[in-house]
Amino acid sequence: MVFSSLTFLFAYLPLTLLVYFLAPLRWRNGVLLVVSLLFYGWGEPVYITIMILSTLIDYTHGILVERYREDDRKARWFVGQSVVFNLLLLGFFKYWDFLAAQLDALLGLSLPVLGIPLPIGISFFTFQTMSYTIDVYRRDASVQRDLISFGAFVTMFPQLIAGPIVQYRSVAKELAHREHSAIGFALGARRFTVGLCKKVLLANAIGTLWEECLAAQGSGDLTTLGAWMGLFAYGFQIYFDFSGYSDMAIGLGHMFGFRFPENFDYPYCAASVTEFWRRWHMSLTSWFREYLYIPLGGNRGGTAKTLRNILIVWACTGLWHGASWNFILWGLYFAAWLILEKYVLRGVLARTPGWIKHTYTLLVVFVGWGLFAMEDLSVCGQYLAVCFGQGALWDAGDFFWLRSYALTFLALIIGATALMRRSWQRLPERAEQVLTPILMLAGSVICTAYLVDGSYNPFLYFRF
């Protein structure tokens, strides 16, 4: 079940809110746990057992780390057990088939390819629970002894499927006591509606162009202009798809009294690749920085170790997104650009006009999206070759696409900047009060009409 489905919007969410707010305060974590398990099990009931097992393992290991805190060796042992369990869980379901295929190709080992469906959201909730025991060991978080509250944290449906990755310490106080107010609920509903509009009206609209460009690639009709339009279409689709989902998750968190971390900060306004990754999927980049890059030594210990650490982190970042060589190459591609900016281009970029820096950043990022989008490396290589001049430069079909999607691209470009937010903030308070419910209602009605009428409603991050 996705947030942009009619089932969620008109059945699951209203019923969940009704049950949640009718329940006494002391029962609400329990209600949240039950409805979240129902949400998770909607499509894959069998995987509820994995979710429950993961919750129990990390709950007990948090207590064990706290109990043996004075014996550092034992405490480290239990932290290690928690980390190994989560990595094995993630590795088996997400990477076993990939590993088996590679070992068979390299060494002739006939390991079985199981073809097990990937549990939804496993990359997100394993990282959350793993960071909990680490934080308890570091004394960055207090141990949670209430199993229901801990279970509510792990399974919390707003951020369960695709983040943002919420660290336990950031919501620990709200699990114990959180305030519910009409203002907070209204802010959450507004944020949710904005995210829904981004997903349904922008991401879905431009995603069809990416599909057309892939079809043209398959038929051998793709041109350089068409290929670049396709890359920009996919780049905008994944941004509005994922940032829209994050907005919906953060909005739902507000409705239930939680404050989730921001996940995007207008990344396409960045003036360098380094800045882009400070603005894109911020909860993931901060997780890798805190739990992998810094423990590896970060930028301490000299240039060679820093380069090693960057390469490790970005290879893992790529692999986190999927069990395929294109994701690993995508991670290493960005590692190379980050290293270049850190050691070679820093001075050059400091002297470069802003518009050139923005253009350079967008070109690097959108070429990267080509690596990200196409798992078949031969298809990816052919596509990118067309981008850089192999074949015809343009044809009549490209100009048809340009005319058809011109207004959509304009809306995407405006939506990817802070222009709308700044304009909204300049409105008088009374105008904002009047316009907010009108725009929310209009956006909800239009999105509903689109969902009723259309069949194209993918969610790209479901596969991660």
Give the separation between CA 25 and CA 29, rounded to whole angstroms: 8
Provide the 3-class DSSP secondary structure of residue 311. helix
Q: How many CA atoms lie less than 13 Å away from 171 in the CB half-sphere?
A: 26
Contact 454, 203 (CB under 8 A): no
Contact 337, 346 (CB under 8 A): no
Give the separation between CA 29 and CA 162, rounded to whole angstroms: 21
Cα angle, residue 166 at apex, residues 285 and 308 outer, rounded to 5°? 25
Q: Which residues contact 343 (CB under 8 A, 6 or more apart)?
A: 303
- SS3 helix, strand, coil % of the chain, rounded to 5? 75, 0, 25
Signed CA dihedral, 170, 175, 176, 178: sign only: positive
Q: Which residues contact 115 (CB under 8 A, 6 or more apart)?
A: 97
DSSP string, 253-274: HHHTT--PPP--S-GGG-SSHH
Provide the 3-class DSSP secondary structure of residue 339. helix
Signed CA dihedral, 52, 139, 288, 99: sign only: negative
Contact 58, 81 (CB under 8 A): no
Whether 180 is catalytic is no
Contacts made by residues 72-76, CB under 8 angstroms, sequence distance 24+: 75/137, 76/137
Give the separation between CA 190 and CA 247, rounded to whole angstroms: 10
Catalytic residue among 61, 254, 281, 321: 321
Q: Give which of 82, 282, 276 is closest to 165, Cα–Cα.
A: 282
Q: Which residues contact 295 (CB under 8 A, 6 or more apart)?
A: none
> Could you give the residue numbers annotated as active site?
321
